[in-house]
A and B are shown apart, each in its own frame.
Chain A
Amino acid sequence: MNSLTGTRTLVRLALRRDRIMLPVWVVVLGLVPASTAGAYDQLYPEAKDRASLAVGGNNPAVAVLYGKAYDLTTAGGFTAWRYGVFLGVFIGLMATFTVMRHTRSEEDTGRLELLSAGVLGRNASLTAAVLVSGGASILIGLVQVLAMAGSGLSATGSLALGAGVAACGLVFTGVAAIAAQVFTYSRTANGVSCAVIGVLFLLRAVGDSSPSAQWASWLSPIGWIELSRPFAGERFWVLLLPLVLAGLLVAVAFQLQPRRDVGAGLVPPRPGPATAAAGLRSPFALAWRLHRGPLIGWTLAMLVIGGVFGAIATGIGDLVGSSEQTRVMFERMGGAQGIVDAYIGALGGIYGLTAGVYAVQATLRMRAEESALLLEPLLATKVTRGRWAASHLAFAILGPAVLLAAVGLGTGLTYGLRIHDVGTQVPRVLGATLAQLPAVLVMAALAALLFGLLPNLTGLSWAVLTVFLLITLFGPILQVSQAVLDVSPFSHVPKLPAAAFTATPLLWLTGIAVVVFAGAFAGFRRRDIG
């Protein structure tokens, strides 16, 4: 028996457990880039349209989100610019969740212990997780290459983009593999890996939008996708960077693994207090203990993200008036007059979706508690189901409000400081971000409804959020019909500060959220626990 014995069995077990999740990732991430090819020809039929698009694409404020545009005169170049960065982020999430599900989560639940007692090599579990996640990354890249080349884009460019995305997936497989060794709980390890993705996204956002800090993009594996210049004079050697880094990260993970015990992390747990603080006497106090760590982390992250995007906002002021195309571009993205206001409006949508991720996570904490058998002992006390659910939902409702305030504050402060007008800008930007709250609440309510009625399908909440995200981010540029846009609650939020404030859609969204929450409570009161 060597250290890899049993890897094949574990890979098969992982594929069996992920038989729905992985194909969804592969199909969605694999086919998304190819789907633009046709839309590009419709949206920008003339050389004139394409030239103006190129001007807009090189605007630093656009580059913050989408990356630098190298060649927007071809469908391929447009695709690489529009999707490269996002594909890097999403394949990173895929790799993180996949690796964690088959390493740290298995240890958390004690299942790995059961397996380890069988004929299983010491490295089998980590190897299997790396193989599955790495294999999925490569498969996604392959599907992208075939689909893009198949829809008429240049084969070389398709290869560069697909390989770049796949290599990015390999890097984040390595990141997750290390996080799984260092941290004792999958929740922490997942959070840290996602934070790494966020930091690397920001790093390239800074590099892509600030001429003086272009080197920052070179520090980010997400930036490497665009730096290999798919469809714009490919530089395949850039792809060696992620391959070497992925190899190094995975090697480090394997070095760390023998230094710890099964079930333990590298960071040893500290003893806690022998008695509970006087305040720990209600389900809300317990919920605060469970939610405060993630909430504080998210709030700080949102402040930083807001600060970065706010600081960059001034860069686009230079373009005002000089480029009609930029303005048109922003209107397509959901903005209105005033380039900066349009930029802030577009950011608001992204912030809203980000807060939506937190809202779903906080709501689904209820299901996690239930599955981990932590709900049962609580409901055996005088705590009622309604009170327990309310204490968790307080975080799903107030948490996003805090996050939207933090990100609005960050954006408004740095932008205000740059243009010496903090007093006006902070409330304006805060208004734009807080206006997203009703849409976020609808998302939280939908997740709660699944928890109340169909607890086994709470994972669908993420699918719903993804649909909203795709509609909000890519719907306007793909010119999908209004009926499709209307599906996402985020489409109904007024694009403040440029657009006029209208309370009607916000009241409607809030009303819908209230009704759906009520349905969730009613369902949860009636169903079986467990």
Chain B
Amino acid sequence: MTTAISVSGLVKTFGRTRALDGLDLTVRTGEVHGFLGPNGAGKSTTIRVLLGLLRADSGDVTLLDGNPWHDVAALHRRLAYVPGDVALWPTLSGGEVIDLLGRLRGGLDAKRRADLLERFELDPTKKGRTYSKGNRQKVALVAALASDVELLLLDEPTSGLDPVMEAVFQECINEERERGRTVLLSSHILAEVEALCDRVSIIRDGRTVESGTLSELRHLTRTSITAELAGAPNGLADLPGVHDLKAEGDRVKFEVDSDKLDAVLQALARTGVRSLTSQPPTLEELFLRHYADELAPNGKHTAAVSR
């Protein structure tokens, strides 16, 4: 088995709202897959369909070679889920919830549980509502990470964690990858996705707009170049793929479509280059390119966010 999750043409409507509109998603076994999209794009709905909580209207969904709607009990033994909004039973302590969820999944590694409690600095004796949002998330994370499962479905698991805990989380996910577990990580924290994910899918309005490795996606966007040239930058502005050119004597600053980079660099080299810095596109730019085009006309926002 090389594919842990395979979704194609998934449609889910709630009344008149079309939450998922032909979504595609492929997660390979053993990878950490970033699942990105603006609020309301359909990330949580997709995860709920994968968990068999929602029934898909149409489309094919395969999870660990099974059907998430029909093979619930068999599949759920092999996965763990951390919801975006973690609720706990008011009368149960955090430790009790961790044990209960672990046992219901089919086993908890006691040593790993103790280790995780320590690393996340979580007090397991407090009860339900006395935990803060971040600590409730830690309860769900410890329960999921200490479970003996193949697949982790994490829905914005770190939205309430502080930066120190965020670092602990990243360590833990890297350990999971080393153990060969598959992770679907829905997140808004781009640094986290950049640090952790092998591949990324970006969705919007219930549809997948980009999918691939980060380097593949970077080809789809622009690199910022600042260079000091030996002579006047003749004809640079006319080259295909060059945008927002600013020239000051011999110094030029511009953006170039990543797939035209080679031709542009050759043109620069012909003029002669004294110094050159290039900045690869950040995930943030990728993200904004797909999210924000209703906010600003295409092209302008890229310049606005370049660092």
Contact = CB atoms under 8 A, between A and B. Distances in A.
Interface of A: 108, 184-185, 263, 269-277, 280-283, 285-286, 289-290, 293, 372-374, 376-385, 526-530
29 contacts: A184-B90, A272-B96, A272-B127, A273-B95, A273-B96, A276-B97, A277-B96, A280-B99, A289-B89, A289-B92, A293-B91, A373-B86, A373-B87, A374-B87, A374-B88, A376-B53, A376-B81, A377-B81, A380-B51, A381-B101, A381-B105, A382-B72, A382-B73, A383-B76, A383-B104, A384-B72, A527-B55, A529-B53, A530-B54
Contact of B53 (A283, A381, A383, A530): A530
Contacts of B105: 381-382
Contacts of B126: 271-272
A286 B117 CA distance: 23
B83 interface: yes
Given A275-B124, A383-B104, A384-B72, A373 B81 contact: no
A184 B53 CA distance: 31
A275 B95 contact: yes
Given A380-B79, A382-B106, A276 B54 contact: no
A290 B87 contact: no
B306 interface: no
Nearest to A110: B129
Nearest to A378: B104
- Of A274, A281, A282, which is in contact with the most chain B CB atoms at under 10 Å from its CB? A274
Interface string B63-80: 000000000111011011
Contact of A272 (B51, B54, B92, B104): B92
A285 B104 CA distance: 11
A528 B99 contact: no
Size band of the interface chain B makes with A: 35 or more
A285 to B, nearest CB: 8
Interface string B102-115: 01111000000000
A379 B53 contact: yes
B241 interface: no
A276 B104 contact: no
A530 B49 CA distance: 12
A409 B106 CA distance: 43
Nearest to A283: B104
Contacts of B48: 376, 529-530
Contacts of B17: none
Contact of B129 (A263, A285, A528): A263
A325 to B, nearest CB: 52
A377 B140 contact: yes
B76 A274 contact: no
B124 A380 contact: no
B96 A528 contact: no
A184 B128 CA distance: 12
Contacts of B189: none
Given A373-B87, A377-B87, A382-B74, 7 more contacts: A272-B95, A290-B91, A374-B88, A380-B53, A381-B104, A528-B54, A529-B48
A271 B123 CA distance: 10
A381 B100 CA distance: 10
Given A275-B124, A281-B100, A376-B83, A526 B93 contact: no
B122 to A, nearest CB: 10
Contact of B93 (A272, A290, A383): A272
Given A272-B92, A290-B91, A281 B103 contact: yes
B71 to A, nearest CB: 11
A272 B198 CA distance: 40
B121 interface: no
Contacts of A378: 101, 104
A530 B103 CA distance: 24
Contacts of B55: 526-528
A271 B83 contact: no
B52 interface: yes
Interface string B37-55: 0000000000010011111
B99 A275 contact: yes
Contact of A274 (B74, B89, B125): B125
A285 B97 CA distance: 12
B76 A380 contact: yes
A384 B76 CA distance: 9
Contacts of B140: 377
A271 B125 contact: yes
Contacts of B103: 276, 280-281
Contacts of B130: 269
A293 B103 CA distance: 24
Given A373-B83, A382-B106, A384-B72, A273 B93 contact: yes
Contacts of B104: 281-283, 378, 381-383
B127 to A, nearest CB: 5
A353 B214 CA distance: 64
Given A276-B95, A280-B96, A529 B89 contact: no
A372 B87 contact: yes
A384 B73 contact: yes
Contacts of B72: 379, 382, 384-385
B96 A271 contact: no
Contacts of B178: none
Interface in B222-267: none
Given A380-B76, A382-B104, A529-B53, A274 B93 contact: yes
A274 B124 CA distance: 5
A283 B55 CA distance: 23
Contacts of B153: 380
Contacts of A373: 83, 85-87
A117 to B, nearest CB: 15
A378 B54 CA distance: 14
A113 B90 CA distance: 18
Nearest to A385: B72
A274 B95 contact: yes
Contacts of B80: 380
Contacts of B90: 184-185
- Of B51, B73, B83, B100, which is in contact with the most chain A CB atoms at under 10 Å from its CB? B100
The 3 closest A-B pairs by CB, nearest first: A272-B93, A276-B99, A381-B104
Contacts of A382: 72-74, 76-77, 104-106
A371 to B, nearest CB: 10
Contacts of A277: 96
Given A271-B125, A274-B124, A280-B99, A379 B52 contact: yes
Nearest to A380: B81
A237 B146 CA distance: 68
Contacts of A379: 51-53, 72, 76
A269 B97 CA distance: 17
- Of A271, A280, A281, A381, which is in contact with the most chain B CB atoms at under 10 Å from its CB? A381
A271 B127 contact: yes
Contacts of B106: 382
B189 to A, nearest CB: 22
A379 B68 CA distance: 12
A515 B194 CA distance: 54
